[in-house]
Amino acid sequence: MEPVECSLAALSTLDSSDFDAVTRINEACLKVLLDPALWAWMTAFTVISIAGGALIGRLKGRMTAGIIWAAVLGPIGWIVIALGPSRLLACPECAKPNQPDAIVCRQCGANLKRAMQRTARSRLKAGDNSAPP
């Protein structure tokens, strides 16, 4: 018996009525699919994709969505999350983007919860000239 390789060429010439030939090609393909090197590459690719998705999602304020899209679609998920809407909140004081769960602005140090609650009228009453007209 000659060794059988798992390839499209071998599958195209396979006589499906020959039980032994089908068994040999099934065993050859199973051996390829269970190769530890293949699984190591696939695992590394998945971990790198998820890490990239988490990073892009964090920059857009959507880290969980970035992880999910990258886990499902790999690098294509990076594009999906990068082109998706951002959930970053602009600081009312300096207009720099902050994470949705941030307590203070990472640029100017303003308390975001308190600054978001102030209205334009309350800023004018307080004499704050930085309020938009």
| pTM given for the model | 0.62
Percentage above 90 pLDDT, the chain: 44
In a domain, 59, yes or no: yes
Q: Is there a single domain that holds both residue 36 and residue 98?
A: no
In a domain, 112, yes or no: yes
Does the pLDDT value for residue 127 go beyond 70?
no
Q: Is there a single domain that holds both residue 94 and residue 57?
A: no
Summarize pLDDT for 20-75 with one digit per residue, the tens.
Answer: 989 999 999 999 999 999 999 999 999 999 999 999 998 898 899 999 999 999 99
Q: Is there a single domain that holds both residue 112 and residue 79?
A: no
Instruction: Extract the tokens encoding 25.
Output: 């090609």
94-132 per-residue burial string, b: 16 or more CB within 10 A, e: under 16: eeebbeeeeeebeeeebebeebeeeeeeebeeeeeeebe
Per the CB < 8 A criterion, the answer to whether 37 and 50 are in contact is: no
What is the pLDDT, as a whole number, of residue 111?
84
Percentage above 70 pLDDT, the chain: 86
Q: Is there a single domain that holds both residue 70 and residue 19?
A: yes
Does the pLDDT value for residue 91 go beyond 60?
yes
Output the average pLDDT for the chain.
85
Cα end-to-end distance, the chain, whole Å: 86
User: What mean pLDDT comes out for the span 108-131?
Assistant: 67
In a domain, 3, yes or no: no
User: How many domains does the chain divide into?
Assistant: 2
By residue range, what is the domain housing residue 120?
89-126
